[in-house]
Each structure stands twice: as C-alpha cells, then as structure tokens.
Amino acid sequence: DAGITQSPRYKITETGRQVTLMCHQTWSHSYMFWYRQDLGHGLRLIYYSAAADITDKGEVPDGYVVSRSKTENFPLTLESATRSQTSVYFCASCEGQPAVDEKLFFGSGTQLSVL
Amino acid sequence: QKEVEQNSGPLSVPEGAIASLNCTYSDRGSQSFFWYRQYSGKSPELIMFIYSNGDKEDGRFTAQLNKASQYVSLLIRDSQPSDSATYLCAVPSYTGGFKTIFGAGTRLFVKA
C-alpha cells in the first residue's frame, strides 16, 4: 500500500540493547523526520534527512543514530537503549517545497518501552 | 524561550461552543504555519495551514495569523465531542535545513 509505514508498532526491550525502528515511504518524498513524543513535550525532532545520504541532528539526537541509503527508508537506531528513551516514535515525510508543500505525513508510530 | 509555544490545557468547552487554540512562535522569519490534530493513540493529521496575515476558513475551522505579534490561532466553531483531541501548532523552519518544529500541543475536551 502507498504511504508511510513504521515497524514494529510496539517494542519492549531492555536497557543496553540495540534497537532499530524502521520507516518506509512510497511517495519518494525528499524529506524524512524522526520525532519522539512524550507527555508535556509534544513532538520533539530527533533527526531529519533532506535526501539519501544527507542527515542532520534535530533537537534531541543524543543516543540515536540514523541512516538513509535509499530515499524511501529512514531507520532509527538506539545504540544502547536507556529508560529515558521510552517514548512513542513517529516517522514523517514531506516534499518540503517552501510555501508550496510543507505538510507532513506521519506513520502510525512505534511505542517503545525500555525496561 | 521555546520556538513554538502553546498552552497545554486541557481546554474544556461545551458542545456547540467556539474553541479557541493559541500558538506563539519565536522566529520572525517564519512564513507558514500548520495545525495538526492528534487523537489519543493515533498519529497527527493535518487540519489547516496558513501563510498570509488574517483569517483562513475551512468549514468549522478558522486559522488566524498575526505575523507582527508572532501569533497564530485556531478557532473551532460549533465544537463537537468528536473534536476532542490534542491540537499541535507546527512551524516549518529553514535554519540549518528544512524541518518542522512543533508546539507541545493543547488538549481539547468538548463536553456533550
């Protein structure tokens, strides 16, 4: 199906483990983003990417790694999970044309619990 | 100062009333402004966007923008219980590359 999909939908892991959250979009949008959402903080930007092989840090990048070898995929890796990384993670994509097309399309989210 | 600020609420209004949601932003160079709605346990979805000063209406929703005051608002007329959700104000930024900054969101409850 066309759109933006995230996997897994739910994940439970232990502190210190490596976890990878997957994000795939079928629109060939240039821009992709990873946000985390916690109570009282809204959506905070972790990393973003303007195109394949171009990534940049957002507001809260510590403890996360991203890659974008193909336009359609933007995986997010927690190298050594900590309890503070328990959150809901949203992937989003956008064509990113100024004043023309800046609306974000979101995946369904991944609820991650780090025990 | 946060780049995009919203009153977290909750805002409670009776069915049929007007709900008014407010947002301020810090970057005077911002040109476009978005409102997303997020139901509990779901992902955000776009409601409206506005680029020009003044009002923009779409059905029961009106977005208002005042760039001089760095203020954007969303009015929901004839509020319905189905409007109960968190409303997120979002501002695209081009500093250091294109990205969208979100406010913390305002929780709205519409009482039947």
pLDDT tens digits, B64-99 = 999 999 999 999 999 999 999 999 999 998 887 788
Write out chain B residues lying below 8 Å of A104, CB-based. 34, 36, 44, 46, 90, 100
Structure confidence at residue B1 (pLDDT): 61
Question: pLDDT digits over A6-31, tens only?
Answer: 999 999 999 999 999 999 999 989 99
Q: For an interface test with B, give the residue of A48, A103, A105 to mutate (most B CBs within 10 A).
A: A103
Q: Is A63 on the interface with B (CB under 8 A)?
A: no
Interstrand relation of A110-114 and A10-13 (parallel, antiparallel or unpaired): parallel
The closest CB to that of A48, out of B8, B36, B97, belongs to B97
**CB-side exposure of A69: number of CA atoms within 13 Å?**
1
Structure confidence at residue A98 (pLDDT): 64
Question: pLDDT digits over B29-61, tens only?
Answer: 888 999 999 999 999 999 999 998 999 999 999
Task: Return the DSSP state at B47.
Answer: E
**Measured CA distances, B101 to A38, A93, B45, B90 (Å):** 15, 14, 15, 6
Interface of chain B toward chain A, CB-CB under 8 angstroms: 6, 8, 31-32, 34, 36, 42-46, 49, 51, 88, 90, 92, 94, 96-105
For chain A, first and last CA: distance in Å?
A: 33
Strands (E), chain B: 4-6, 11-14, 19-25, 33-38, 45-50, 54-58, 61-66, 71-76, 85-93, 99-102, 106-111
Distance CA B49, CA B28 (A): 17
Question: pLDDT digits over A72-96, tens only?
Answer: 999 999 999 999 999 999 999 998 7
The mean per-residue pLDDT over the stretch A87-107 comes to 87
Write out chain A residues lying below 8 Å of B45, CB-based. 106
Which letter, b or e, does each residue of B68-93 get, where b requires 16 or more Cβ atoms within 10 Å of its Cβ? Answer: eebebbbbbeebeeebbbbbbbbbbb
The closest CB to that of A102, out of B6, B45, B92, belongs to B92
Q: Which residues does B50 contact at the CB level (< 8 Å), separation at least 6?
A: B32, B33, B56, B63, B64, B65, B72
Q: Is the pLDDT of residue A1 over 60?
A: no
Structure confidence at residue B71 (pLDDT): 95
Q: Is A23 on the interface with B (CB under 8 A)?
A: no
**CB-side exposure of B105: number of CA atoms within 13 Å?**
22
Structure confidence at residue A39 (pLDDT): 83
Contact B16, B76 (CB under 8 A): no
Q: Is A31 on the interface with B (CB under 8 A)?
A: yes
- Three-state secondary-structure class, residue B57: strand
The closest CB to that of B43, out of A58, A90, A94, belongs to A90
The closest CB to that of B99, out of A33, A41, A99, belongs to A33
